[in-house]
Amino acid sequence: MTNRDILTGIAGAAAIWLGFPNDVADMPPLVLFWPVALALLGLNAPNKMTALRAGWLCGLAGSTAALYWLTLPVREVGGLPWPLASACALFVAACLSFSNGLFSCAARMLRNYPPPLCALALALAWYLLEYVCARLLGFPWLPLAGALAEWPLLVQAADIAGAYALGGLWTLAALLCLIFCRDKFCLTLGMALSAGLMLYGGWRLNQTPFTMKPDGTESVSVLFVEGNIDQNQKWIPAFQQASLDAYVRLTRQALAEMPGGEKPLIVWPETALPFFFEHMPKYDETVRRLAAESGCPLLLGAPGMEISANGQRRIFNRAFLLAEAEASAPGRTVGRYDKMHLVPFGEYLPDWLAFDFLQALLQGVGVYEEGTSAEPLRYGKLALGMLICYEGIFPWLAEERVRRGANILVDISNDAWFGRTPAARQHLNLTALRAVEQGRWLLRGTNTGISAVVDNRGRLTMRGGQFTEGVHFARAALLETASPFSRLAPRIFPAALAVFAALLLLALKGRKNTNH
């Protein structure tokens, strides 16, 4: 590699780190230099293997810097020494970065193609790689649009194209403006595309005026409760009563202060109750009595357990919706949702990595099983499209909830694993994209922050702090209209794949004709 290539790789890695929330300064637009750097590494590489290696190293450096916080749960919860914990984080970054290497390799293969078509093919490659890797790896944490979500103006087109295809569009604009700008047509096209994306964003934001407290019958009042329970204590049986008492106390205090006798949706976070409260009568009674006496629907996270006829236990990461009812069944369960996309190492261990030293990461109940139903939790006018923790980063999960009738999305989470790092902010931004894609408001309730309300244009109408016990009042709108993306989503990937394949065939045909 030449000195120019090394500097290009460093610039690309810095673009990843600075583009996503970090510990120094967030500069979302800089993330566009990431695909530009990868493309330059490929275009200047002497062969495909060099391009693959250069792109992978660039992505590895940037991804490791952006995701360093992955070492914390492995070290603090799993108890591994820092070298091994760091190696685990490096392994994840290495897997994610493989797509970067493939992108640079694609640039090398297409470098003799006419600039406009080369840029288009690379933009399609960016989208296809993000989408496929998200499906295969199950940890799509650094999509390009996830950095841009910090500035809602830049991500409004996600309501048509979705976050991954939007990343491809911004990649196309960046390549045309920064790499192929010597071609006047490319520069003009790139500037027009950039302007179009921003004009569309401005029009969409102006079309939906920002409001912190929507009112009317098609809205809901919400009470978020944050217990701020230490991750290393919450699963210890001796702390079960203290955890429950904290949430009950905070909820009762907040309800006493509610203006005008409102009956909000009460939201407790993922595993707010770190025990099988349904199978522990003294705890079960306390929780259900709170729901009954408050007259409010109570959404809470807790482990769920099903026992078969032969005594076999099945464990789920579950969300319960409780509500007031007749005296014979106070605080009955009116709905429940079992997490469908589990976190590797936190909720299960892949069979090929089921080592004893990783078992410590499975806090509390051990291995969970996947849920099977994406039906909304319904109560009155509410149809809650449930997502638990990092399910909020998968577009197709939110899409399925809306397709089944959800009029609002709800993500309950627990980011206490990652301490005071950028992880919670990165998670919030990724989840906010689901609101834009689906045209739904999104409620995000957490244990240690960041709890938030996101409107259907990706703007935060309420944002809480971190690592402080407390409550947050908010309001959100209930919407029924389908976004264009919710209708187009099944067609976007096949269409992009077909166009990309056609461009590759043209490139290969042109190469053969040149050789002859």
The CA-atom distances, in angstroms, between 264 and each of 188, 234, 255, 267, 472 are 52, 26, 9, 9, 11
Catalytic annotation, residues: 270, 339, 389
Q: Which residues of the chain have pLDDT under 50?
A: 327, 352, 516
Q: Are 419 and 71 in contact (CB under 8 A)?
A: no
Across the strands, what pairs with 104? none
Flag whether the pTM goes above 0.75.
yes
**Burial of 424 (C-beta count, 10 Å sphere; 0-12/13-18/19+):** buried
The rounded distance, in Å, linking the Cα atoms of 16 and 175 is 16
Which helix (DSSP H) or strand (DSSP E) does residue 514 occupy?
A: helix 484-515
Q: Is 226 helix (H, G, I), strand (E, B) or coil?
A: strand
Other CB atoms within 10 A of residue 1 CB: 15
Q: What is the 3-state secondary structure (H, E, C) of 335-377?
A: EEEECCCCCECCCECCHHHCCHHHHHHCCCCCCCCCCCCCCCE
Scored b (16 or more CB within 10 A) or e, 159-191 reads bbbbbbbbbbbbbbbbbbbbbbeebeebbebbe
Instruction: Give backbone dihedrals phi and psi of 315, rounded to 5 degrees, phi first.
Output: -110, 140
Least Cα distance to 320 among 300, 305, 306 occurs for 300
Is the N-terminal amide bond of 179 cis, ω within 30° of 0?
A: no
Fold of 219-482: Nitrilase/N-carbamoyl-D-aminoacid amidohydrolase (3.60.110)
State pLDDT tens for residues 48-82. Answer: 999 999 999 999 999 999 999 999 887 776 677 88
Q: How far apart are CA 471 and CA 228, in angstroms?
A: 11
Q: What pLDDT, on a 0 to 100 scale, did the predictor assign at position 72? A: 87
Provide the pLDDT for residue 352. Answer: 46
Q: For 413, phi and psi rounded to 5 degrees?
A: -145, 170
Handedness of CA 302, 306, 312, 316 (dihedral sign): negative
- 8 A C-beta contact, residue 149 and residue 158: no
| Distance in angstroms (rounded) separating the CA atoms of residues 88 and 435 | 32
CA dihedral sign, ordered 36, 48, 109, 496 = negative
Q: Which residues pair with 445 in a beta bridge?
A: 412
3-state secondary structure 85-121: HHHHHHHHHHHHHHHHHHHHHHHHHCCCCCHHHHHHH
Helix H or strand E encompassing 488: helix 484-515
Instruction: Find the length of the chain.
Output: 516
- Residue 228, C-beta contacts closer than 8 angstroms, at least 6 positions apart: 447, 448, 467, 468, 469, 470
Sketch the domain layout of the chain as residue ranges: 3-207, 219-482
pLDDT digits (tens, 9 = 90+) for 153-209: 999 999 999 999 999 999 999 999 999 999 999 999 999 999 999 999 999 999 999
In the prediction, which pLDDT does 353 show? 52
Tell me which long-range contacts 207-210 makes (C-beta under 8 A, separation of at least 24): 208/455, 208/456, 208/457, 210/455, 210/457, 210/459, 210/461
Which structure tokens are listed for 276? Answer: 């099988």
